[in-house]
Amino acid sequence: MQYTHLGRSGLKVSRLCLGTMNFGELTDEPTSFQILDEAVEAGINFIDTADVYGGPQSPDMEKGFGLSEEIIGRWMADRGSRNEIVLATKVYQPMGLGPNDRRLSALHIRRACEDSLRRLRTDHIDLYQMHHVDRFTPWEEIWQAMELLVQQGKIIYVGSSNFAGWDIATAQSAANQRHFMGLIAEQSLYNLSARTVELEVIPACRHYGLGLIPWSPLGGGLLGGVLQKMAGGRRTTSMMKEKIERYRAQLQAFEALCEDLGERPADVALAWLLHNPAVTAPLVGPRTAEQMTQTLRAAEISLSDDTMRCLDEIWPGPGGDAPKAYAW
């Protein structure tokens, strides 16, 4: 496994990040433990979760949110592996029915951090990420709350998720005024079929020194060999069928290219992300230990310049940074 700095920080993380959104909902605890064991054995030291993961992600539905953190906490206690990993979690989503049980008020950040620490059975979080931007809370309040957590040793670094480029710029400007490091990473939707972040988010990450952590690197399964799987009898949802029809010509060309390369489509899609210097580590979210093992192949694939050009032709991006992509 290769390692790289997370953004401009001195922190080193593996080039693949284990995402645990499935833990507790689609993946039971014993299987989650197997996936975590497999990941650490393979050299993955970067594990991502969120306070809301593990259930329907809504506090007015059946109990379940927070379960992913609890599973990771029990695994770390059982394996004694806390010091082996860089642990990331998130704050923002509703964790209760009260008006202050969500978003990024100083009150909720403090309470949510304490609750995550309890569920994770640890005394600190390595990367504490804002799950979404909060346009109703001033940055002075948000950064004051984060600074206090850093001073108390409860978090070490701060990251963002689903931020626009101008959100990153605004956050960093406010942090700089406070002589605070601010953000070191952004977690965004990014894959071959979803390249909008190339316009402004990736340029903002480059400018401010944030590592990019792509979520949904396989487009929800679209880039995982979906045509091959359906030809083999795999059933799929009506929503996925609509996406397949929308992208059928591109999927046929993509899967044919992968076949010529002798690689699985999922591995090629991940390898394409890893070839982007802006990308720190794509989030991989296996549901089984076997899927975890298969995912490791992506970190070994070297794509030629010709292959990268072919992938750009099949899955064209927006044309570069904004505004050059559309105004120059």
Catalytic residue numbers read 53
Residue 189 φ then ψ, to 5°: -70, 120
Residue 301 near residue 268 (C-beta atoms within 8 A)? yes
| Identity of the amino acid at 21 | M
Residue 292 near residue 169 (C-beta atoms within 8 A)? no
Residue 176 near residue 140 (C-beta atoms within 8 A)? no
| DSSP-assigned states of every residue in 23-82 | BTTTB-HHHHHHHHHHHHHTT--EEE--TTTTS-S-TTSSS-TTHHHHHHHHHHHHHT-G
Of the candidates 219, 208, 209, which has an alpha carbon nearest to the alpha carbon of residue 6?
Answer: 209
Separation of alpha carbons 257 and 252, rounded Å: 9
Across the strands, what pairs with 161? 187
Helix segments in 87-218, DSSP class H:
106-120, 139-151, 165-177, 201-208
Of the candidates 196, 205, 168, which has an alpha carbon nearest to the alpha carbon of residue 319?
Answer: 196
Torsional sign, CA 255, 261, 262, 268: negative
CA distances for 95 relative to 59, 64, 79, 101, angstroms: 6, 11, 28, 6
- Tokens representing 53? 């993961």
